[in-house]
Amino acid sequence: MAVDWAWWVGLLLGAVPLLVLAVWHSNDVCHCAFFALKRWRRRANKFVLKSSQDGTFGIRWPAPKLVGLSCVVNVEGSQHARLRGFILAAINRPASLRAIAEVIQPRLVGALRSWADKGTISAATEIKKVTFENICKMFVSRDPSPLTDKMDGWFAGLVAGFRAFPLDFPGTAYRHARACRKKLDTMFREEVQRRRREDTASNDLMSGLMEMEDEQGKKLCDDEVVDNIVSLVVAGYESTSNAIMWAAYHLAKSPHALRKLREENGAVSRDKNGGFISLDDIPSMKYTAKVVEETIRVANVAPMVHRVAHRDVEYRGNYIKQVVVWLRSLHTDANYYDDPLSFNPDRWDKPPKPGTYQVFGGGPRICAGNMLARLQLTIMLHHLAVGYKWELLNPNAEVTYLPHSKPVDGAAMSFSKLSSV
Ligand code: HEM
């Protein structure tokens, strides 16, 4: 009898929580397992990423319906090339980046002022907030409101669904993610239809995507506009805010780098009389560019990408079916980067060895928002450097790695205006 009880108690205390963990966070558990797998090196990464071009490898996101079947990450071949062209034109080319630089600065500057008023902040939380506000502005011309707060929650629910086991019954993260996706879909679809009905356009990503035509004069349909807006928020939200948080974190620990950043940006700011910077200022901000690249390298915001072989592929005696291209292993390898875990923008005085810097992936799927991500980081660094000082409250806080790397205290910091400002 006692044995029976022990068995049931053991089951309840052990197996049930494990099952719950598997249902809610199974992909995170898989990611943990991948940490232990054989590392893919420079040539292997290149082999997989470049072979995507000839259709050898395809991409497969977990739960593709959640992000949208017609979004850029879920389509291949000519459909992918067409959509990618639209997206690059809307967010990654100089003309669009120039407009975006103007749109995002007032909000960034306002956020920094409010952080200084608070005196102490969780950098992870505040940076996420302002990044999302800017995404709403850039993508659909929305200012912060109760609706954008709800959207933020829906995106959080959606992203949690990618990471969960796709079990569709009440109470699971996947079911919740589907409900969030539906709400986002309704909201963006109504907006697309309103713009078509009223024949209005805004200077934002949604109108950009709605108006563009391919070589045959064909525009995107409503599904494509909605799915791609959703996928771009998913791709560009946590990644960018995480990178900005790590920039602030590392600079707080690197007074030498911060001093050089302040010198360069101070000079730019004097030329501008303290006003906003524009895309034209960025080429002269050489040290800032090094801080940007070093931040993204060390942060390893996207530590891996996934591929699926469409046909039999043999690589060095291994038969490949599904691949995790382990980008992080390149950026933390002492063969490619001296003292790889240290934050040292000066290492960018020399370019990295070919194929060893793949923070944005490679081949035909290389990040479509890489210039936008760099722009946002550069602008944030500029305003931080010229106007503020900050100090980590727990400089030795432990770092967690799932789902994204982050100090456990969210990079809590004291934050104030520089006295010279
Ligand atoms: C520091 C920030 C970012 C990092 C480290 C990053 C990293 C990556 C990586 C590694 C990939 C390749 C995925 C693969 O090969 O499967 C990727 C793809 C992509 N990224 Fe980013 N990303 C960032 C920011 C952004 C932003 C701001 C956007 C746009 C708003 C964006 C949009 C995309 C899109 C659309 C793709 C898919 C491209 C395709 O399939 O053709 N990313 N990103």
Name all domains of the chain by residue range, CATH numbers in brackets: 37-75+92-143+235-417 (1.10.630.10)
267 CA distance to ligand 1 middle (Å) = 32
Nearby residues of 92 by Cβ (< 8 Å), 6 or more positions away: 368, 369, 370, 371, 372
Ligand 1 and 140: CB distance under 6 A: no
Query: Which of 360, 372, 375, 377 maximizes ligand 1 atoms within 8 Å of its Cβ, making it the mutation to test the pocket?
Result: 360
Ligand 1 and 301: CB distance under 6 A: yes
Q: For position 33, what pLDDT does the model report?
A: 41
Phi and psi (nearest 5°) for 104?
A: -85, -20
342 CA distance to ligand 1 middle (Å) = 24
372 CA distance to ligand 1 middle (Å) = 10
Q: Whose CA is nearest to atom 9 of ligand 1?
A: 360
Which atom of ligand 1 lies closest to the CA of 59? 16
120-122 and 412-417: which strand pairing? antiparallel
394 CA distance to ligand 1 middle (Å) = 31
Nearby residues of 9 by Cβ (< 8 Å), 6 or more positions away: none
Which atom of ligand 1 lies closest to the CA of 306? 16
10 CA distance to ligand 1 middle (Å) = 44
Query: Which of 59, 71, 104, 370 maximizes ligand 1 atoms within 8 Å of its Cβ, making it the mutation to test the pocket?
Result: 370
- Check the CA dihedral 15-20-21-25 and report its sign: positive
330 with 59: CB under 8 angstroms?
no
Q: For position 22, what pLDDT does the model report?
A: 53
Q: Whose CA is nearest to atom 22 of ligand 1?
A: 367
Beta bridge partners of 122: 412
Ligand 1 and 245: CB distance under 6 A: no
128 CA distance to ligand 1 middle (Å) = 17
328 with 401: CB under 8 angstroms?
no
- Check the CA dihedral 35-40-45-51 and report its sign: negative
- From first to last of its 421 residues, the chain has per-residue pLDDT tens of 454 666 666 666 666 666 665 555 544 444 444 443 444 467 777 777 777 667 788 877 778 889 899 999 999 889 999 999 999 999 988 989 999 999 999 999 999 999 999 999 999 999 999 999 999 999 999 999 999 999 999 999 999 998 888 889 899 999 999 999 999 999 999 999 999 999 888 889 999 999 999 889 999 999 999 999 999 999 999 999 999 999 999 999 999 999 999 999 999 999 888 789 999 999 999 999 999 999 999 999 998 888 888 888 888 787 777 788 888 889 999 999 999 999 999 999 999 999 899 999 988 899 999 999 999 999 999 999 999 999 999 999 999 988 889 999 999 999 999 986 6
Ligand 1 and 373: CB distance under 6 A: yes
Ligand 1 and 235: CB distance under 6 A: yes
Ligand 1 and 365: CB distance under 6 A: yes
Beta bridge partners of 58: 308
Instruction: Supply the Cα-derived Rg of the chain in whole angstroms.
Output: 23
Beta bridge partners of 11: none
Beta bridge partners of 318: 315
369 CA distance to ligand 1 middle (Å) = 6
Q: For position 10, what pLDDT does the model report?
A: 65
Residue type, 367: C
Q: Tell me the whole-structure pTM to 2 decimals.
A: 0.90
Q: For position 29, what pLDDT does the model report?
A: 45
Closest C-alpha among 322, 23, 17 to residue 166 = 23
Report in angstroms the alpha-carbon separations of 219 from 81, 210, 214, 370, 402.
14, 7, 7, 24, 39
Report in angstroms the alpha-carbon separations of 182 from 62, 83, 143, 168.
17, 22, 22, 14
78 CA distance to ligand 1 middle (Å) = 19
- Check the CA dihedral 109-281-242-337 and report its sign: negative
- Residues placed in the known binding site for heme: 367
Phi and psi (nearest 5°) for 75?
A: -115, 160
Q: For position 35, what pLDDT does the model report?
A: 40
370 CA distance to ligand 1 middle (Å) = 7
Q: For position 173, what pLDDT does the model report?
A: 94
Ligand 1 and 369: CB distance under 6 A: yes
Ligand 1 and 104: CB distance under 6 A: no
Q: For position 8, what pLDDT does the model report?
A: 63
Which atom of ligand 1 lies closest to the CA of 233? 30
Query: What does 154-200 look like in DSSP terms, one character per residue?
Result: HHHHHHHHHTS----STT-HHHHHHHHHHHHHHHHHHHHHHHHHHT-
Closest C-alpha among 337, 332, 338, 326 to residue 302 = 326
Report in angstroms the alpha-carbon separations of 121 from 61, 361, 416.
34, 32, 10
Q: Whose CA is nearest to atom 6 of ligand 1?
A: 360
CB atoms within 10 A of CB 166: 19
